[in-house]
Amino acid sequence: MKILWLTNLRLPIVDEILEKKANYFGGGWLTGLLEEILKNKDNSLLLCYPEYEDKTIVSGSTDNISFYGIPVDAKKCRLGTLHIESVRNDFVQIIEKEKPDVIHIHGTEFPYSNALVKAAEKTGYLDKTVVSIQGMVSVYAHHFYGNLPRNVRISRTLKELLIRDGVDDRYNSFLRRGETERETIAIAKNVMGRTSWDYINTVSINPGIRYFQSNETLRSNFYTGEWEFDACNPHSIFVSQAGTVLKSFHMVLDAVEIVKKFYSDVKIRVAGPDITQGNQINGNSYGQYIKHKISDKKLNDVVRFLGSLDAERMKDEMLKANVFVLPSSIENSPNSLGEAMLLGVPCVSSDVGGVSDMMKHETEGYIYPADAPEMLAYYIKKVFDSGEQASKLGEKARIHAQVTHDPTFNSKRVMEIYEELAK
């Protein structure tokens, strides 16, 4: 079976073929699924992705993988102002040349997904096309600010002013991209999702769409290793992202200010670049807000940004943490939570999107109202207070995650969907 994928990033296998250094750690679940699908030598994958560096289509192949990098303007994609006609025409040519059995669009967040679903419609492939729900910017926009003060929402550094990338600018881009996303889902005939949250938000846009339930396979290294209390750093918190407002790192700081009254040695380790660097000229306004918040709450010695982490380093940080915290203002089915659960790390997460489908409150972890940092503090303290007993939460979470993210079952399910569409 020849399967065409559209992904939001260039996958590592393409980097290897092009001999390019990967500049973004992400999409690990795609690599996991790719590996499982290609275990069957009768399958081949045609990978399409947005190409931001070249102005012409980049293509290549090896064994049963081929790829096309479709040139698009990165800024227009981010802002939601991309004109999709030329992109759609590129996809039409690729479909007509390659004649895939199935088209799988991974994500609806960017306008090139709209271009491909329209190309599928034009070429008669719409019945053989399925759209996966990752996040939904049309819904995320309603939760974008996550209790952020108004003065931070409207502030901009000079750099953000020049490139239109302040907090409010990003919110407005979500609104624009959300309109295109809704059109994509309205045109599509088939959708693949994971949670009750993405189900209801999808069918509310297109009541006639066919919804396929299918969970994700996560990065392979998270399927081995298990959290142990004796091997963790007591009273340490690991957060996997803080770079955007949606990830609500500011709520963690509010919570840890409370926790510190009981555990003066509490530490927060954050994956990703240090967003507090820079200033009102070359920094970003959310990062400047975080910098001032850290200082005001006297948490300078508590917070450490770790830089970009590959899968193995991310795993190591999770295993060393006393608790994994996911404080987002909105999520669908967060892979970082799934990875922490696979390792048996005690987890605390905001009750947003599909999180409650993934983890059962007080049995497998703790879930708190997203706008209540005092409850986040309560559950972090509860994990710290329980000491070695926290491993019981992790053990049950691990069992649940092994079912949700079973690579063999999930890849079989995806292939079942592909085979049904290919008919």
| Parallel, antiparallel or unpaired: strands 65-71 and 129-132 | unpaired
Taking the domains of the chain in order of start, what are their residue ranges?
A: 2-217+406-422, 222-404
> Within 10 A of 137 (CB to CB), how many other CB atoms are there?
23
Q: What is the pTM assigned to this prediction?
A: 0.94
What distance in Å separates the CA atoms of residue 94 and residue 211, rounded to the nearest whole number?
A: 26
Q: What share of the chain is helix, strand, coil (3-state, %, to 5)?
A: 50, 15, 35
Looking at the domain 222-404, which fold is it? Rossmann fold (3.40.50)
Contact 238, 266 (CB under 8 A): no
Q: What does the alpha-carbon distance between residue 26 and residue 11 come to, in Å, rounded to a whole number?
A: 9
Q: Tens of pLDDT along 255-304? A: 999 999 999 999 999 999 999 998 999 999 999 999 999 999 999 999 99
pLDDT in tens, 67-116: 999 999 999 999 999 999 999 999 999 999 999 999 999 999 999 999 99
pLDDT value, residue 272 = 96
Report the CATH number of the 2-217+406-422 domain: 3.40.50.2000
Question: In the prediction, which pLDDT does 29 show?
Answer: 74
Q: What is the sign, positive or negative, of the torsion defined by CA atoms of 90, 96, 99, 103?
A: positive
Q: Which amino acid is at 102?
A: V
Does pLDDT of 22 surpass 70?
Answer: no
